[in-house]
Amino acid sequence: MADAKLKKAKVIFVLGGPGSGKGTQCEKIVAKYGFNHLSSGDLLRAEVESGSPRGKELQAIMEKGELVSLEIVLALIKDAMLKLVDKSPYFLIDGYPRELEQGTRFEAEVAGCHVVLYFEVTEEVMKQRLLKRGETSGRADDNEDTILQRLRTFTSKTEPVIKHYADKGKVIKVNASGTIDEVFGVVQQEFAKREIK
Ligand SMILES: Nc1ncnc2c1ncn2[C@@H]1O[C@H](COP(=O)(O)OP(=O)(O)O)[C@@H](O)[C@H]1O
Ligand SMILES: Nc1ncnc2c1ncn2[C@H]1C[C@H](O)[C@@H](COP(=O)(O)OP(=O)(O)O)O1
Ligand SMILES: [Mg+2]
Q: What is the DSSP letter of 131?
A: H
Task: Compute the residue count for the chain.
Answer: 197
Nearest CA to ligand 1 atom 12: 129
Q: Is the pTM of this model over 0.80?
A: yes
* ipTM greater than cut 0.90: yes
Does the beta carbon of 23 lie inside 6 Å of ligand 1?
yes
Q: Please, what's the b/e burial string for 44-61 (b: 16 or more CB within 10 A of its CB; e: otherwise)? A: bbebbeeeeeebeebbee
- Please determine, for residue 91, whether its predicted confidence score (pLDDT) is greater than 70: yes
Nearest CA to ligand 2 atom 6: 67
pLDDT in tens, 130-167: 999 999 999 999 999 999 999 999 999 999 999 999 99
- Adjacent-strand bridge partners of 93: 13, 38
Task: State how far the Cα of 57 lies from the Cα of 47, in Å rounded to an integer.
Answer: 10
* Ligand 1 nearest atom to the CA of residue 39, by list position: 21
**Percent with pLDDT over 70 in the chain:** 99
Confidence band, pLDDT 50/70/90 cuts, at residue 7: confident
111 phi and psi angles, rounded to 5 deg: -165, 160
- Please determine, for residue 1, whether its predicted confidence score (pLDDT) is greater than 70: no
* CATH class of the 10-194 domain in this structure: alpha beta
